[in-house]
Amino acid sequence: MMRSLYSGVAGLKTHQTKMDVIGNNIANVNTAAFKASSITFNELMSQTTQRASGPNATTGTGGTNARQIGLGVKSGAININITGQGSAQSTGNPFDIMITGENFFVVSDGLQNFFTRDGSFYVDGAGNLAMTSTGYNVMGWQVDPDTGDIKQDTVSALRIMSAANMTYPPEATSLANMSGIIDKHDTDVTSANGKVVNLNFFDAVGYEYTARFVFRQSGNVNEYSLELEKILDSTGEEVTTDSAGKPIDITALFGGASKQYKSGSVSFDDTNYKWDAGKLMRGKEIVVDLSKMYDGGTLKALDTELTWQYENDKGANVDVKKTVQDCLDDIAAAYGYEGSTDDFLNLLVNVPKDAGSKDMTELTIQAMLANLSKSQGAPVATGDTATLPTTGKFETVGRSFTGIKILFDGDTGKFAGVNGQATNVSSALNLSILGGNFSNIDIDFSETSMYNNKGTSTISATKGDADGYGMGRRLGDMIGVSIQQDGRIYASYDNGMTKLLGQIATAAFANASGLEKQGDNLYSATLNSGEFNGIGVDITANGGYMSTGQLEMSNVDLSSEFTEMITTQRGFQANSRIITVSDTLLEELTNLKR
């Protein structure tokens, strides 16, 4: 009877242990990444009152089984369903991460590595990715500075918001492309001022500049000049000096000396050295005294103020004070070159090599004016050996410019090369002449075409090549952090760039159930779980992945736990009855004395 009492006590204790396990499971039903436990019972021991015997051939008796009386129950094992995946709970926090698979996050208190499935992380004051509950650092792999890729070495704390990561360095633009349609009937392209195309680019320290180009149509409609007009800084001011403060020659930055066919004419009257009255100032005449404008063939300073004769509304000439530049601008505007005085002065005209000669030579209008100014009434040629005619019309046969020529196939409208070379598809903007932080930019023209677009050209310039390389950039500030399924952490910046900051490492164990709980949703490795090698594994190596904005919920099944609670309660009740009945038997035994 005493044995049954102790068996009942053992049953009560064991069922109480099971109830403790169930209670812990239910208590943690809402604990992130909690793994439910279960308990199994083992028979405690048995008292053998008679051992088993075998058959006796001599006597002819059979064998007998052992006679054993059980002495109760004990807890056999408490197992953790550690590989059971919990459901996903959406949080919207980008630093909340759920692991799908059997791996564990690696975290550290600075002295020891722990393992957890709880991916509730945040960025602490030092910029480290850490657990929200304990502050332990999340461990991972760093970026190799030489390759820019992840180096899977001994895990270390992931400091994703260090000072170096908060900004993305600027870079100078090195590539660009022009693309789109040039319509040969576009009035912008055919005008003297041409079609303006702007290219924005960056220097090495992130300042933005604009290169203003101009497309102009040649007398050959399949050929267009492309000239660099000016460089503007981010404030809209024209760049006129290099990094050393020396004046720059804008024509040296792009292309080279070239000539474009251009038909037309200009008229000149030697009586008063005046331009054709029918073309100037809405039909009014400008009297241009070259002896005033030029000094021995050299143009005076453009800001020199002189007195000129302009025809008034009554047809009389009146004196007007204007600068040399103003007068030249008026003349250029009269021939349709308003705002493009230099282009007008660079028009090429055919002039006789000698007075009365039929042999012609080409001079720019500017050169012709300089020669005419050398001796009023007896102007001389370039070589100072022959006089030039100073009256009549001079035919413009072209225009001298610095830049490149873009050619198109007249039959197909497709791009046909730069400067007459079909294999040449690009030209360099030689910004290194400016010194300092500038880099040369190679501009690709292969995506341009000459199609009918209802008189509208769509040609435009963009920094970078067709794949986006060589765009350059300004300094970028971090605007966001994202974590990929393989644990790689990327920062995005407001200059359009992204940067790899590191990768969250994970740990995998041969027997994950052998991990030992340390509280706070943490586990530590044991001899039976297998050791952590200090490096870890890429989560995708085992087919797992990470999901951001989600946390893994507890894998406790309440319906199963309540069922286990019922059977445990009944088992506890039955064992208590053993004690009650055994006590009654003992009472009857003691009553025999009466």
Q: How far apart are CA 152 and CA 143, in angstroms?
A: 9
Residue with tokens 């995708």: 540
Q: Tell me if 266 is assigned to some domain.
A: no
Two structure tokens written together for 431? 């910004």
Q: Tell me if 412 is assigned to some domain.
A: yes
Q: Tell me if 208 is assigned to some domain.
A: yes
Q: How far apart are CA 211 and CA 196, in angstroms?
A: 10
3-class secondary structure for 497-553? CEEEEEEECEECCCCHHHCEEEECCEEECCCCCCCCCCCCECHHHHCCEEEECEEEC
pLDDT (0 to 100) of residue 270: 46
Q: How far apart are CA 238 and CA 218, in angstroms?
A: 27
92-106 burial, b at 16+ Cβ within 10 Å, e below that, comes to eeebbbbbbbbbbbb
2-27 vs 558-591: helix axis angle to the nearest 10? 160
Domain that holds residue 208: 170-256+401-474
Q: Tell me if 263 is assigned to some domain.
A: no
pLDDT (0 to 100) of residue 275: 47
Summarised one tens digit per residue, pLDDT across range 215-262 is 988 877 789 999 999 999 999 999 999 888 899 988 899 998 887 777
| pTM, full prediction | 0.70
Q: Tell me if 396 is assigned to some domain.
A: no
pLDDT (0 to 100) of residue 385: 41
194 and 275 fall within a common domain: no
Give the chain's residues under pLDDT 70.
1, 263, 265, 267-291, 296-297, 309-315, 352-358, 371-394, 594
Number of domains forming the structure of the chain: 4
280 and 371 fall within a common domain: yes
134 and 44 fall within a common domain: no
pLDDT (0 to 100) of residue 325: 86
27 and 40 fall within a common domain: yes
Contact between residue 258 and residue 267 where contact means Cβ atoms under 8 Å apart:
no
pLDDT (0 to 100) of residue 594: 67
CATH of the domain at 407: 2.60.98.20
373 and 452 fall within a common domain: no
Using the 3D structure, point to which of 474, 502, 520 is the last residue of a domain: 474
Nearest to 459 by CA among 406, 402, 400, 401: 406
Which phi and psi (to 5°) does residue 186 adopt? Answer: -70, 120
Q: Tell me if 264 is assigned to some domain.
A: no
pLDDT (0 to 100) of residue 362: 78
Q: How far apart are CA 425 and CA 403, in angstroms?
A: 14
Q: How far apart are CA 190 and CA 449, in angstroms?
A: 16
Q: Tell me if 32 is assigned to some domain.
A: yes
103 and 122 fall within a common domain: yes
pLDDT (0 to 100) of residue 381: 41
71 and 181 fall within a common domain: no
What lies within 8 Å, CB to CB, of 158 at 6+ separation is: 128, 129, 137, 138, 139, 140, 142, 489, 501, 502, 504
Q: Tell me if 123 is assigned to some domain.
A: yes
DSSP 355: T
96 and 158 fall within a common domain: yes
99 and 148 fall within a common domain: yes
364 and 276 fall within a common domain: yes
68 and 138 fall within a common domain: no
pLDDT (0 to 100) of residue 130: 96
Residue with tokens 């009945």: 581
pLDDT (0 to 100) of residue 376: 47
Give Rg (Cα) of the chain.
Answer: 47
pLDDT (0 to 100) of residue 373: 63
Summarised one tens digit per residue, pLDDT across range 109-119 is 999 999 999 99
576 and 587 fall within a common domain: yes
